[in-house]
């Protein structure tokens, strides 16, 4: 708080006031003396002269007082007085104050935390130098690029780009004195840090001379987060050696905390030169033109526009499609997007933004609910204070002064709420960030790059909190300030603040209750929709993994030169796994369905023309062994699975998904057909079987065309996931898989071992997070609304205490009195409910893109939400009414 500035201002006004008062006194003395002299000259006695002079002047004290009001510092003095008075009055009602500050803190805290996260993920850019001349380059549509394509692009665009930087995720095991962990980092081209203008926090950055020869530069730069986590921020870390994979890498520097790597939100643990990627991962990635895994940024040369650069890139694309038809699909092009317009990836940005705005809207509604509650309590308080206010007005306080004082009081509450909210926001953020999300590869949603104390103190976040607090305060105070001070003097003085029925402010209170119910109903319906959506993903059958299964994902050692040796190794692993006690079925697949990576293949079919503008069909691809389908719980719909006769020297075969079979061979005659593949490295495949569909990329997606190849044919696998269906606990089985695997093959690099349940949980994560977050806020909102109803009814009841006493003395029974008292509250609830449902019906449409498997008109959510809220409101309305109806009628009559 600006206590310092405030104190200084008050001191200054004090000093100035002293001076002004002295001056005024001098002037008045001079004036009166002058008049006395004049009177004496006119022949009066000194006493008479003085008396008349004083009469002519009028009240000296009054003059002083009224002139003081004209002093410049007066408004500030009034403010200080109001603040003191406000603090005193808040201290006098500790319960009310605590409740008010706490509900505001909840609203503001939630807002700040969500705003902080949303801002960090979506709206904050990495601090790259001259971001306006940077573009992200994708192979359309918004796909990462392959390294050979980047090289070709670089060669063909030297006149439009002053530099191109690429990065790719690199997963490896880091062995730090016995504790090996799978860690995700990034391989970057040598010029990347210089091009982006990222200065190292410590040591030096990766430079072009670190990225010259394949496997020749075992140097590593740590990310700020990993440096903190693994080395405790040790400043002496540069020069040490880090055991990564099978080699020691020299630590050359630490990246700054604000740099989040090529893909924001997933901050890598380390950076290595791009030429080290193959060696580090143990697989060949750099030379594969089809390996689309590079995120690319380029800097426009001075004076070059994006359109010019796009044109140059399109020329490269055209030459690529003629010079290397095997590596380029006709019609594909390079996509240039200004870096500042990309948050994560153009493809998912709209979804992320929608989610962020949804969250911000939701927490905003919660804040509004909290404010409405408080405003209605403040109105009630103002009415309670009707007598005090009436007395003060009768004594001459202006309505403006009283209103100002009410406003100051609520602004104090707002400020208190903001401070408490900020503290709460940090606690919430800590909680949010400590949640262990089931992400693969020990990946971390590393928001920590900044969401600790220092970065949350980012002025935008602070401004947001302060703004929320002040707005809340003003919003809170306005109504009571206007209405509380309007009270008819005579009436208020007579009634002693306990009129029998609702004056103006209560009407406002009723409006607020209706608004609250409507708002919280919208929240609840939204939460209901998301919970239903999540429930749907739980119910979705991905087509595999219905029974307890363990998964072991490994990186296969690079053995491109000796494919048969690789097959032998894999076979040995499969056999050992099969022999494990408790293993009922064993198989391998790559890539694992519903994992991040995916693979595709192009093919043609005799007698069918590819879609217009394309020369081939395209389908997802997976490599598997014969046992995979059984282990994954899939069914062979037709034909056979892979077997030992499918060898490198025999006819390459394929199994296809049922969806693919239906699409291309609706008559059911897929078996025996040939998939012709134009890429030189890939052989034509004979379809020998059709298997049931699985979800490949996302849960509940439409069945995809999917081609399975045998791991014994085609190129060696870069990685594999072993699936073991098991009769024992899958987590224990997963551990057994790790130890057995490492026994068989000491070089085996385990990426992760997990149960199928965990794997599917990862796939459900987005809808789960959305559902639970929203549900939490909706419950909060409903609770606030219920408190609002409770407060209103309790207040009405308190106002009608005497009436209740009379009714009961005349023989009304408790139940009917309770009904009478609660009915007004419940009528408001009903009205709010109707409005809320109407708004929900409209608002739900906006959520369509974020929902899965539920329509926007979901009867369960639309009926459930009012039910929940109705019960809560009913309890809230009846509780105080019931209590009042139990009261002793005599005591009620005497009350006052």
Partner 1 sequence: MKDRSDVLQGTLDMLVLRAVQLEPMHGWGIAERIEQWSEQVLQLGQGTLYPGLYRLERQNFIRSEWRITDKNRRARYYSLTASGRRYLTESLAQWRRVSRAINLVLDVTTVN
The tokens 């807002």 sit on which residue?
111
- Tokens (6 digits) for 306: 């994006």
Q: Are 601 and 677 in contact (CB under 8 A)?
A: yes
**Given the complex with partner 1, which of 64 and 84 has the nearer CB atom?**
64
**Given the complex with partner 1, which of 37 and 813 has the nearer CB atom?**
37
Residue 22 Cβ vs partner 1, minimum distance, rounded to whole Å: 11
Closest CA to 620 of 639, 598, 647, 605: 598
Specify the stretch interacting with partner 1 by CB under 8 A; choose among 51-59, 229-237, 422-430, 658-666.
Answer: 51-59
- Please report, as residue ranges, which positions from 114 to 153 form the binding site for partner 1 (by CB under 8 A): none
**Given the complex with partner 1, which of 37 and 564 has the nearer CB atom?**
37
> For residue 813, how many other CB atoms are within 10 A of its CB?
11
One residue of 60, 352, 605, 783 binding partner 1 per CB under 8 A = 60
Specify the stretch interacting with partner 1 by CB under 8 A; choose among 52-60, 290-298, 495-503, 751-759.
Answer: 52-60
State yes or no: residue 396 binds partner 1 (CB under 8 A).
Answer: no
> For residue 621, how many other CB atoms are within 10 A of its CB?
22
Number of residues this chain uses to bind partner 1 (CB under 8 A): 23
DSSP helix/strand/coil, 700: coil
State yes or no: residue 26 binds partner 1 (CB under 8 A).
Answer: yes
Q: CA geometry: angle at 502 spanning 501 and 508, to 5°? A: 170
Strands (E), 456-517: none
DSSP helix/strand/coil, 416: helix
Specify the stretch interacting with partner 1 by CB under 8 A; choose among 62-70, 99-107, 778-786, 857-865.
Answer: 62-70
Residue 70 Cβ vs partner 1, minimum distance, rounded to whole Å: 4
Residue 43 Cβ vs partner 1, minimum distance, rounded to whole Å: 18
State yes or no: residue 25 binds partner 1 (CB under 8 A).
Answer: no
**Given the complex with partner 1, which of 65 and 130 has the nearer CB atom?**
65
Residue 21 Cβ vs partner 1, minimum distance, rounded to whole Å: 11
**Given the complex with partner 1, which of 59 and 467 has the nearer CB atom?**
59
- Please report, as residue ranges, which positions from 2 to 21 form the binding site for partner 1 (by CB under 8 A): 20
Give Dmax (Cα) for the chain.
141
Integer Cα distance of 591 and 596 in angstroms: 9
- Please report, as residue ranges, which positions from 417 to 456 form the binding site for partner 1 (by CB under 8 A): none
One residue of 10, 17, 31, 78 binding partner 1 per CB under 8 A = 31
One residue of 24, 761, 812, 887 binding partner 1 per CB under 8 A = 24
State yes or no: residue 541 binds partner 1 (CB under 8 A).
Answer: no
Specify the stretch interacting with partner 1 by CB under 8 A; choose among 54-62, 376-384, 669-677, 875-883.
Answer: 54-62
One residue of 18, 22, 57, 490 binding partner 1 per CB under 8 A = 57
**Given the complex with partner 1, which of 20 and 812 has the nearer CB atom?**
20
State yes or no: residue 58 binds partner 1 (CB under 8 A).
Answer: yes
State yes or no: residue 857 binds partner 1 (CB under 8 A).
Answer: no
**Given the complex with partner 1, which of 70 and 645 has the nearer CB atom?**
70
- Tokens (6 digits) for 243: 């055991």
The tokens 């692009």 sit on which residue?
153
Q: Are 135 and 298 in contact (CB under 8 A)?
A: yes
> For residue 311, how many other CB atoms are within 10 A of its CB?
12
**Given the complex with partner 1, which of 40 and 598 has the nearer CB atom?**
40
**Given the complex with partner 1, which of 41 and 91 has the nearer CB atom?**
41
DSSP helix/strand/coil, 125: coil
- Tokens (6 digits) for 350: 């709209």
Radius of gyration in angstroms for the set of CA atoms belonging to the chain, rounded to a whole number? 37
One residue of 27, 341, 747, 813 binding partner 1 per CB under 8 A = 27
| Angle between helix 504-539 and helix 349-384 axes, rounded to 10 deg | 150
**Given the complex with partner 1, which of 63 and 599 has the nearer CB atom?**
63
Beta bridge partners of 654: 687, 709
DSSP H or E stretch at residue 859: helix 859-885
Specify the stretch interacting with partner 1 by CB under 8 A; choose among 53-61, 96-104, 378-386, 740-748.
Answer: 53-61
| Angle between helix 3-41 and helix 74-92 axes, rounded to 10 deg | 120
Alpha-helix residue ranges (DSSP H) falling in 324-458: 349-384, 386-394, 399-434, 453-456
Integer Cα distance of 626 and 646 in angstroms: 10
State yes or no: residue 56 binds partner 1 (CB under 8 A).
Answer: yes
DSSP line for 1-68? -THHHHHHHHHHHHHHHHHHHHHHHHHHHHHHHHHHHHHHHTT--HHHHHHHHHHHH--HHHHHHHHH
Q: Are 195 and 165 in contact (CB under 8 A)?
A: yes
| Cα 431 from chain centre | 13
- Tokens (6 digits) for 266: 């997933």
Residue 485 Cβ vs partner 1, minimum distance, rounded to whole Å: 25
State yes or no: residue 62 binds partner 1 (CB under 8 A).
Answer: yes
Residue 402 Cβ vs partner 1, minimum distance, rounded to whole Å: 22
Specify the stretch interacting with partner 1 by CB under 8 A; choose among 29-37, 77-85, 118-126, 760-768.
Answer: 29-37
Pairing of strands 685-691, 653-657: parallel
Residue 75 Cβ vs partner 1, minimum distance, rounded to whole Å: 12
**Given the complex with partner 1, which of 72 and 399 has the nearer CB atom?**
72
Residue 78 Cβ vs partner 1, minimum distance, rounded to whole Å: 16
Binding track, positions 271-290, relative to partner 1; x by CB under 8 A: --------------------
**Given the complex with partner 1, which of 38 and 154 has the nearer CB atom?**
38
**Given the complex with partner 1, which of 44 and 636 has the nearer CB atom?**
44
Closest CA to 333 of 85, 137, 81, 593: 137
Integer Cα distance of 235 and 246 in angstroms: 26
State yes or no: residue 51 binds partner 1 (CB under 8 A).
Answer: no
Binding track, positions 63-102, relative to partner 1; x by CB under 8 A: x--xx-xxxx------------------------------
Integer Cα distance of 517 and 832 in angstroms: 5
**Given the complex with partner 1, which of 70 and 501 has the nearer CB atom?**
70
Integer Cα distance of 461 and 782 in angstroms: 27
**Given the complex with partner 1, which of 28 and 671 has the nearer CB atom?**
28
Residue 201 Cβ vs partner 1, minimum distance, rounded to whole Å: 55
| Residue 642, C-beta contacts closer than 8 angstroms, at least 6 positions apart | 624, 625, 626, 653, 655, 708, 710, 712
The tokens 């903190």 sit on which residue?
228
DSSP helix/strand/coil, 539: helix
The tokens 């008050």 sit on which residue?
10
Residue 389 Cβ vs partner 1, minimum distance, rounded to whole Å: 27
One residue of 12, 16, 23, 883 binding partner 1 per CB under 8 A = 23
**Given the complex with partner 1, which of 26 and 326 has the nearer CB atom?**
26
Binding track, positions 731-770, relative to partner 1; x by CB under 8 A: ----------------------------------------
Summarize as ranges the residues that interact with partner 1 (CB under 8 A).
20, 23-24, 26-28, 30-31, 34-35, 56-60, 62-63, 66-67, 69-72
């Amino acid at each position: 708080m600006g206590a310092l500035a405030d104190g200084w201002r008050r001191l200054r006004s004090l000093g100035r006031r002293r001076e002004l008062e002295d001056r005024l006194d001098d002037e008045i003395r001079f004036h009166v003396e002058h008049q006395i002299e004049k009177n004496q000259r006119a022949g009066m006695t000194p006493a008479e002269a003085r008396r008349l002079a004083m009469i002519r002047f009028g009240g000296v004290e009054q003059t002083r007082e009224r002139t003081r009001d004209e002093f410049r510092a007066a408004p500030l003095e009034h403010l200080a007085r109001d603040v003191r008075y406000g603090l005193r009055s808040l201290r006098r009602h500790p319960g009310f104050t605590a409740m008010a500050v706490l509900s505001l803190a909840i609203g503001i805290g939630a807002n700040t935390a969500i705003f902080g996260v949303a801002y960090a993920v979506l709206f904050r850019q990495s601090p790259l130098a001259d971001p306006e001349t940077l573009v992200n380059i994708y192979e359309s549509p918004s796909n990462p690029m392959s390294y050979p394509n980047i090289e070709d692009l670089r060669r063909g665009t030297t006149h439009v780009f002053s530099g191109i930087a690429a990065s790719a995720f690199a997963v490896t095991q880091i062995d730090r004195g016995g504790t090996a962990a799978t860690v995700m980092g990034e391989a970057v081209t040598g010029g990347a840090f210089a091009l982006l203008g990222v200065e190292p926090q410590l040591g030096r950055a990766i430079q072009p001379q670190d990225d010259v020869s394949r496997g020749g530069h075992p140097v590593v730069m740590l990310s700020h987060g990993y440096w903190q986590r693994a080395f405790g921020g040790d400043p002496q870390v540069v020069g040490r050696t880090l055991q990564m994979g099978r080699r020691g890498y020299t630590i050359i520097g630490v990246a700054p905390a604000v740099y989040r790597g090529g893909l924001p939100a997933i901050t890598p643990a380390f950076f290595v030169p791009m030429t080290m990627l193959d060696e580090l991962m143990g697989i060949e990635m750099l030379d594969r033109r089809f390996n689309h895994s590079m995120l690319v940024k380029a800097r426009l040369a001075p004076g070059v526009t994006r359109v010019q650069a796009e044109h140059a890139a399109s020329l490269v694309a055209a030459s690529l499609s003629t010079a290397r038809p095997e590596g380029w699909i006709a019609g594909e092009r390079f996509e240039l997007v200004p870096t500042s317009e990309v948050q994560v990836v153009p493809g998912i940005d709209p979804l992320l933004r929608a989610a962020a705005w949804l969250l911000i809207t939701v927490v905003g509604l919660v804040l509004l609910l909290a404010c409405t509650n408080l405003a209605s309590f403040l109105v009630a308080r103002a009415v309670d204070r009707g007598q005090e206010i009436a007395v003060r007005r009768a004594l001459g306080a202006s309505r403006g002064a009283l209103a100002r004082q009410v406003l100051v009081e609520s602004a104090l509450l707002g400020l208190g709420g903001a401070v408490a909210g900020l503290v709460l926001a940090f606690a919430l953020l800590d909680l949010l960030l400590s949640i262990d999300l089931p992400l693969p590869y020990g990946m971390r949603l590393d928001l920590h790059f900044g969401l600790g104390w220092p970065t949350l103190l980012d002025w935008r976040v602070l401004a947001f909190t302060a703004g929320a607090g002040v707005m809340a305060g003003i919003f809170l105070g306005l109504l009571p300030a206007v209405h509380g001070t309007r009270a008819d003097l005579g009436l208020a003085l007579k009634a002693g603040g306990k009129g029998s029925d609702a004056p103006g402010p209560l009407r406002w209170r009723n409006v607020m209750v209706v608004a609250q119910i409507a708002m919280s109903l919208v929240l609840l319906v939204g939460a209901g929709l998301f919970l239903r959506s999540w429930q749907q993903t739980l119910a979705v059958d991905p087509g595999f993994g219905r029974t307890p299964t363990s998964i072991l994902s490994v990186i296969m050692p690079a053995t491109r030169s000796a494919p048969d040796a690789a097959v032998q190794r894999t076979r040995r692993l499969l056999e050992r796994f099969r022999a494990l006690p408790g293993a009922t079925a064993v198989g391998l697949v790559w890539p694992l369905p519903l994992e991040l990576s995916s693979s595709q293949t192009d093919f043609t079919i005799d007698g069918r023309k590819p879609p217009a503008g394309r020369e081939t069909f395209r389908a997802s691809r997976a490599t598997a062994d014969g046992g995979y389908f059984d282990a994954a719980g899939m069914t062979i719909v037709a034909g056979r699975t892979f077997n030992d006769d499918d060898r490198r020297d025999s006819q390459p075969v394929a199994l296809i998904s049922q969806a693919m079979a239906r699409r291309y061979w609706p008559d059911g005659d897929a078996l025996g057909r040939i998939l012709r593949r134009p890429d030189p490295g890939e052989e034509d495949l004979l379809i020998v079987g059709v298997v049931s569909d699985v979800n490949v990329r996302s849960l509940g997606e439409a069945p995809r065309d999917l081609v399975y190849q045998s791991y014994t044919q085609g190129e060696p696998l870069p990685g594999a996931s072993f699936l073991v269906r098991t009769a024992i606990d899958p987590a224990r089985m997963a551990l057994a898989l790790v130890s057995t695997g490492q026994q068989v093959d000491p070089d085996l690099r385990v990426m992760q071992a997990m149960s199928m349940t965990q794997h599917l949980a990862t796939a459900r994560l987005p809808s789960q997070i959305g559902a639970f977050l929203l549900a939490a806020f909706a419950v909060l909102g409903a609770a606030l609304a219920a408190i609002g109803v409770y407060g209103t009814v309790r207040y009405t009841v308190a106002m009608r205490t005497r009436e209740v006493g009379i009714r009961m003395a005349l023989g009304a029974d408790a139940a009917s009195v309770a009904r009478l008292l609660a009915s007004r509250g419940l009528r408001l609830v009903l009205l709010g409910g109707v409005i809320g449902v109407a708004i929900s019906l409209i608002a739900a449409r906006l959520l369509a893109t974020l929902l899965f498997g539920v329509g926007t008109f979901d009867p369960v959510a639309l009926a459930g939400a009012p039910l929940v809220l109705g019960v809560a409101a009913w309890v809230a309305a009846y509780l105080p009414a019931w209590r009042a109806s139990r009261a002793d009628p005599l005591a009620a009559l005497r009350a006052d």
